Amino acid sequence: MHPCFQATALGTDGRGRAFLAGNDGAEFGANPFVLIFDADGELLGEIALDPRDSSATGVSGTRTACW
């Protein structure tokens, strides 16, 4: 996972995947990401968000999209 990650939003696809939105710690650039986990808590991937946008306040997704 990301160093000093601070979560701001938690969502799911309703089929066993969880989406955790947040930022790396300030000492690591405070870059925003959405982390994607399977039902066992294993990290499946990540989506980098535009750092010019404000922190995510909600997250949801499907097998092919993330909002």
Residues 42-63 as b or e (16 or more Cβ within 10 Å = b): eeeeeeebeeeeeebeebebee
Enter the pTM of the model: 0.84
Does 66 fall in a domain?
Answer: no
**CA-to-CA distance for 21 and 41, rounded, in angstroms?**
15
Does 20 fall in a domain?
Answer: yes
Does 63 fall in a domain?
Answer: no
Looking at the 3D structure of the chain, how many domains does it have?
A: 1
Once rounded to an integer, what is the mean pLDDT over residues 31-50? 93
Once rounded to an integer, what is the mean pLDDT over residues 28-47? 92
Residue 11 token pair: 């969502």
Does 60 fall in a domain?
Answer: no
Does 18 fall in a domain?
Answer: yes
Q: Give the structural domain span for 13.
A: 6-41
Residue 51 token pair: 């750092």
Does 1 fall in a domain?
Answer: no
pLDDT for res 1: 67
Single out the residue of 8, 22, 9, 15 nearest to residue 62, CA to CA: 15
